Amino acid sequence: MSTTVFTFMESPFGRLLLSGVRPAEGGPAALATVTAPGQKYALAEPADDWVHDPDALAEPVAQLTAYFAGRRTTFDLPLAPAGTDFRQKIWAALDDIPYGETVTYGQLAALAGATPQAVRAVGGAVGANPLLIVRPCHRVVGANGALTGFAAGVDRKRWLLDLESGALF
């Protein structure tokens, strides 16, 4: 039986909450969530049955730290986000958006193999992305290029895009 583990890390957004699924035999956890303070639709604190285990999530913390410092452009982590098959497909398509680039919701729908009529559902899936930053939902913009919704706030979305464009370094 697996265990849900958690840790916190400091970031430019404040204290992030990371959770993961640790296998019964122990070892590193597969990352399940990354949550920023004040993020919509996400836990602000660990659930009562989660176990504090910073060692199990040391690699995600290291990779996020390197990303925020401008030294990492991709993540190489085992992931375990919970969601419907449709959401899983949309979240996986987020991984195909190159660092420093953006796509529209319509383009993301096409990347995921969804019809153009699914744009609203794609937007809902992007908004429910449990792996903030790691699965780069911040790289999805409106059809006109506007910085539309981001569960952690549009100012944070702008900061992430500025980081990736090199504007912060």
Query: Which position among 21, 80, 125, 137 bears the catalytic label?
Result: 137
DSSP 7: E
The identity of residue 163, as a single letter, is L
Task: Note the helical H segments in the chain.
Answer: 58-68, 85-94, 105-111, 119-127, 154-165
Q: For residue 137, indicate whether it is catalytic.
A: yes
Write out the H or E segment, with its range, that includes residue 157.
helix 154-165
Amino acid at 98: P
Q: Give the pair of three-digit tokens for residue 31.
A: 């990352």
Give the span between the Cα atoms of 156 and 1, in whole angstroms.
Answer: 36
Q: Which residues are catalytic?
A: 137
